[in-house]
């Protein structure tokens, strides 16, 4: 008799565990399903199923890509030196904001995270706007567009962090 109860308990436990595991896998697969740029999101999270780690991954990638964008600016001529300086300062501000985002994530400060990531997103726009004020197209326009999309993905993923 005890054996029957033990067997029944084991089957119920296994069923519950299976449902829990498959639910976690489904959340991981669907982590990027509702992102504005699902393909970019999947590329950024690289199969990560935990929203916190996925968001953190996006922020680290944003920091690296922002540093590359800043370095890329040094290729342009001195005729645009003031605009280049505005962009470099904007990138520096974005990098600072992104590092603060990592602190916000660790301390579970959702409002701070959203504020700092939105500020970084605005920094990318500021760079493009500086060129626009001269009547020129930003030579880093495509890079900034990608950075803005990455930041948007980070904002989206953070909504799933509990």
DSSP per-residue string spanning the chain: -HHHHHHHHHHHHHHHHHHHHHHHHHHHHTTTTTSSSHHHHHHHHTT---HHHHHHHHHHHHHHHHHHHHHHHTTS-GGGHHHHHHHHHHHHHHHHHHHHHHHHHHTT-HHHHHHHHHHHHHHHHHHHHHHHHTT---TTHHHHHHHHHHHHHHHHHHTT--
Segment 5-25 mean pLDDT: 41
pLDDT tens column, 90-149: 999 999 999 999 999 999 999 999 999 999 999 999 999 998 988 888 889 999 999 999
pLDDT at position 13 is 40
Domain extent listing, the chain: 1-30, 32-158
| Residue, of 7 and 128, whose pLDDT is higher | 128
- 79 falls in which pLDDT band (50, 70, 90)? low
pTM: 0.80
| Residue, of 21 and 49, whose pLDDT is higher | 49
The mean pLDDT of the chain is: 84
Say yes or no: domain 32-158 is CATH 1.20.140.40: yes
């Amino acid at each position: 008799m005890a054996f029957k109860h033990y067997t029944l308990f084991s089957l119920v436990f296994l069923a519950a565990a299976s449902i829990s595991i498959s639910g976690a896998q489904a959340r991981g697969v669907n982590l990027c399903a509702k992102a504005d740029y699902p393909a970019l999101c999947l590329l950024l999270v690289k199969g990560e199923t935990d929203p916190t780690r996925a968001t953190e991954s996006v922020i680290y990638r944003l920091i690296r890509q922002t540093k590359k964008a800043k370095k890329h600016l040094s290729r342009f001529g001195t005729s645009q030196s003031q605009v280049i300086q505005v962009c470099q300062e904007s990138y520096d501000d974005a990098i600072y904001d992104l590092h603060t985002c990592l602190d916000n994530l660790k301390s579970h400060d959702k409002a701070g995270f959203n504020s700092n990531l939105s500020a970084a997103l605005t920094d990318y726009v500021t760079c493009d706007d500086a060129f626009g004020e001269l009547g020129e197209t930003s030579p880093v326009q495509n890079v900034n567009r990608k950075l803005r999309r990455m930041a948007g993905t980070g904002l989206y993923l953070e909504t799933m962090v509990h």
